[in-house]
Amino acid sequence: MSEVETLIIGAGPAGMAAAMELSKVNKKILIIEKQKSVGGLAKTLTFEEEGATFFSDIGPHRFFSQNKYLYDFIENLIHDKWIKVNRLTRQYIGGKFYDYPINAAQALKNIGMKKAFRIFLDYLFAQIVYKILRKKIKNFKDYVIANFGRSLAELNMINYTEKVWGIECSKIHPDWAKQRIKSLTLISALKSIFTKGKDPRSMVDQFYYPEDGTHLIYKTIEEKIIQKGNEVLTESYPTKIKHDGKLITEVIINTRGKEESFKPKYLVESITMKNFVNLLEPSAPDCVLEAIKTLKYRSQVYLFITLDKESITKDQWIYFPEKEIPFGRVSEMKNFSKKMSPDGKTSLFVEFFCFEGDKTWNMDKESLFELALNHFERLGFFTRKEVRNYYLIKQKNVYPIYDLDYQKNLELIKAYLNKFENLFFIGRPGRFKYNNQDHSLEMGILAARSIIDEKKYDIESVGSEIEYYEKGDLNVSNKQKVSFNWMVLEDRDET
């Protein structure tokens, strides 16, 4: 059995951030990654074609954070390859495009005065029901109706959410809304239109993007940690995780068919919670095993279409909330960075939401393409003749599903895992939390700082900023708004 100071399982943003932070202070690490390359869901795929190479992330990867530490962390890695992009994103509803974030004048023109008045009346009605009569918010549907009124909620939020999650909004926990659209209401959205650039919630939007694709961050970390004498084992995964009830004592790893045993002083892992718990030996208690069975994920299949065409639109991505359209979002990678497509050509990354094993998941490449092509031709995006090639990509366990029971089951599992003193379970899969890159990076950095400082910082509180917005401009004051909160676990106010 080989001794290793810190074993990191999973080389997505969370695992790689932990690795980087540890290697900066010359701590020894070993990284294990199941796939052939690092980056996790934030990797960039390469498509080599005759005379042309295309690159694509797995869907849009806009970096945004309220944490200045993270901006510095990435800037120190990729320097001037971190480019600023002017955001242009839209939604397609009822045969019309709407700017996203909303442009009031355009939205009014699209929906007409009658419908706008209806939206306003519905909003007032929701205020009476939820604020004055204090109707309880029990699920996501209640949450969006309470904050936006029924008409607006039905126009884009309920449709899109049900498409993404594959379950009715009345069965989705309101946590989902709290994590993603907290503090945003119809009134705050309207207000921000008139305070462009002055408010951190500004709808004037820019974001940073690594010019060679989002994986540049994680590839650079890989290079740096290898330079320091550390190892990254790809196509490698754990087959057994042994423990004595207090500590993780041994991890058996399979790397391309060869088994090896490691005794880690610390284990940092970001693989799916279900996978991790099921590898434990002795087994977790029955109640934990029962709880883990209830955690569900939504998966995705993607079409990546390469085109003999200069450009489709100017948008980085467009949402398609309506259920009649089979895909949910498309991204034109060239509009993130020119380097993603060769000159004179472009591409489209198309996302379909599904459950592993369902009809969409099992569709072959040709059928999926035919299903989508009709819509793209109708929208005027491209014609069959302009298509060079198309590729099918499948990704399991993309979205942890926040159903109405998830919280109590998750708490039970986390309480059990927290008993292991040398274990740090982090990241989107590791904590069953719908993280963006920023929160996974924060979790990795906190795990590393806990090891370096020999005290456990509070990973649970990552993502619970009072104001976390999907939107925001990148003026300096905004970047500096929130600094890293090194909260020690024992100091946390549990009330």
The residues that touch ligand FAD, with contacts defined as CB under 6 A, are: 9-15, 32-35, 40-42, 58-63, 237-238, 270-271, 275, 351, 398, 427-429, 435-438, 440
- Pick between residue 47 and residue 237 the one whose CB is nearest to ligand FAD: 237
Distances (CA, A) of 339 to 96, 311, 335: 30, 14, 9
Q: Which residue is nearest to ligand FAD, using beta carbons? A: 12
Closest C-alpha to 308, from 390, 387, 389: 387
Treating both helix axes as pointing N-terminal to C-terminal, what angle do 140-148 and 104-126 enclose, rounded to 10 degrees? 110
Please state, in angstroms and rounded to a whole number, the distance separating the CA atoms of residues 110 and 311. Answer: 25
- Point out which residues pair with 146 in neighbouring strands: none
CB of 108 to ligand FAD, least distance (A): 28
- Give the tokens for residue 426: 């982090």
- Pick between residue 17 and residue 312 the one whose CB is nearest to ligand FAD: 17
CB of 12 to ligand FAD, least distance (A): 2
- Pick between residue 271 and residue 447 the one whose CB is nearest to ligand FAD: 271
- Pick between residue 16 and residue 184 the one whose CB is nearest to ligand FAD: 16
CB of 9 to ligand FAD, least distance (A): 5
> Taking a C-beta distance cutoff of 8 angstroms, is the pair 157, 319 a contact?
no
- Pick between residue 151 and residue 397 the one whose CB is nearest to ligand FAD: 397
- Pick between residue 28 and residue 180 the one whose CB is nearest to ligand FAD: 180
- Pick between residue 107 and residue 398 the one whose CB is nearest to ligand FAD: 398
CB of 276 to ligand FAD, least distance (A): 8
Distances (CA, A) of 30 to 102, 269, 422: 46, 12, 15
- Point out which residues pair with 53 in neighbouring strands: 48
Half-sphere exposure of 161 (CA within 13 A, CB side): 25
CB of 375 to ligand FAD, least distance (A): 19
Return the exposure string of 160-197: e unless at least 16 CB atoms fall within 10 Å of the residue's CB, then b: bbbbbbbbebebbbbbbbbbebbebbbeebeebbeeee
Distances (CA, A) of 444 to 44, 95, 232, 430, 484: 20, 43, 16, 11, 13
CB of 259 to ligand FAD, least distance (A): 14
DSSP line for 266-282: EEEE-S-HHHHHHHEES
CB of 309 to ligand FAD, least distance (A): 23
Cα 475 to its chain centre, rounded Å, is 24
- Pick between residue 12 and residue 174 the one whose CB is nearest to ligand FAD: 12
- Pick between residue 36 and residue 385 the one whose CB is nearest to ligand FAD: 36
- Pick between residue 35 and residue 478 the one whose CB is nearest to ligand FAD: 35
- Pick between residue 40 and residue 101 the one whose CB is nearest to ligand FAD: 40
- Pick between residue 59 and residue 149 the one whose CB is nearest to ligand FAD: 59
Query: Which residues neighbour 40 within 8 Å (Cβ) at sequence distance 6 or greater?
Result: 10, 11, 12, 13, 14, 15, 218, 270, 427
- Pick between residue 62 and residue 219 the one whose CB is nearest to ligand FAD: 62
Q: Which residue type does 313 have?
A: T
Half-sphere exposure of 11 (CA within 13 A, CB side): 29
CB of 112 to ligand FAD, least distance (A): 32
Please state, in angstroms and rounded to a whole number, the distance separating the CA atoms of residues 220 and 380. Answer: 39
Residue with tokens 């926040």: 402
Please state, in angstroms and rounded to a whole number, the distance separating the CA atoms of residues 279 and 284. Answer: 9
CB of 40 to ligand FAD, least distance (A): 2
> Taking a C-beta distance cutoff of 8 angstroms, is the pair 325, 344 a contact?
no
CB of 25 to ligand FAD, least distance (A): 21
CB of 109 to ligand FAD, least distance (A): 28
CB of 114 to ligand FAD, least distance (A): 35
CB of 352 to ligand FAD, least distance (A): 11
C-beta neighbour count of 390 within 10 angstroms: 20
CB-based burial label for 52 (10 Å; 0-12, 13-18, 19+): middle
Please state, in angstroms and rounded to a whole number, the distance separating the CA atoms of residues 155 and 151. Answer: 6
